[in-house]
Amino acid sequence: MRLDALAGNAALKQQLSAQEKGRGLSHAYLISGPAGSGKRTLARLLCAAMVCTGEGERPCGACPACKKVLSGIHPDVIQVGEDGKDISVGQAREARSDAYIRPNEGARKVYVFHNAQDMTAAAQNALLKLLEEGPAYAAFLLLAENPGSVLTTIRSRCEGAALTPVTAAEAEYELARRFPHLPREQRHAAAKRCGGLLGRAVAELEGQETGEQLQVEASQFLDLITQKNELEFAAWCVCLEKWERGDLVLLLEHLQALLRDALALQRGLSPTAASPGELPVLQGAAALPPQKLLALAELIRKLRNDAAFHVNTGQLCGALAAGVYGGNL
Ligand SMILES: [Zn+2]
pLDDT tens for each residue of 277-297: 889 999 999 999 999 999 999
Task: Report pLDDT for 328.
Answer: 56
Percent share of the chain, pLDDT over 70: 99
CATH code that applies to domain 10-164: 3.40.50.300
Residue type, 81: G
Distance 56 CA to ligand 1 centre (A): 9
CA of 284 to the centre of ligand 1 (A): 54
Q: Are strands 77-80 and 159-162 parallel, antiparallel or unpaired?
A: unpaired
Ligand 1 centroid to residue 298 C-alpha, Å: 51
**Average pLDDT taken over every residue of the chain:** 92
Residue 282 CA, ligand 1 centroid: distance in Å: 51
User: Rounded CA gap, 268 and 264, in Å?
Assistant: 6
Convert the pLDDT of each residue in 161-211 to its tens digit: 999 999 999 999 999 999 998 899 999 999 999 999 999 999 999 988 888
Q: How far, in Å, is the centroid of ligand 1 from the Cα of 10?
A: 22
263 pLDDT above the threshold of 60 = yes
Question: What is the pLDDT at residue 329?
Answer: 59
On the question of a cis peptide bond just before residue 276, with omega within 30 degrees of 0, the verdict is no
Contact yes or no for 274/258 (Cβ under 8 A): yes
What is residue 228's predicted lDDT score, i.e. its pLDDT? 86
User: Is there a contact between 320 and 237 (Cβ–Cβ < 8 Å)?
Assistant: yes
Task: Assess contact for 141 and 29: CB atoms under 8 A.
Answer: yes
Mean per-residue pLDDT, 124-140 = 93
CATH architecture entry for 210-325: Up-down Bundle (1.20)
Q: Which of 205, 207, 244, 239 is nearest to 224 (CA)?
A: 239
CA of 75 to the centre of ligand 1 (A): 15
User: Are the beta carbons of 156 and 26 closer than 8 angstroms?
Assistant: no
34 CA distance to ligand 1 centroid (A)? Answer: 28
Contact 12, 161 (CB under 8 A): yes
Q: Are strands 138-144 and 28-32 parallel, antiparallel or unpaired?
A: parallel
Q: What share of the chain is helix, strand, coil (3-state, %, to 5)?
A: 60, 10, 35
CB 52 within 8 A of CB 83: no
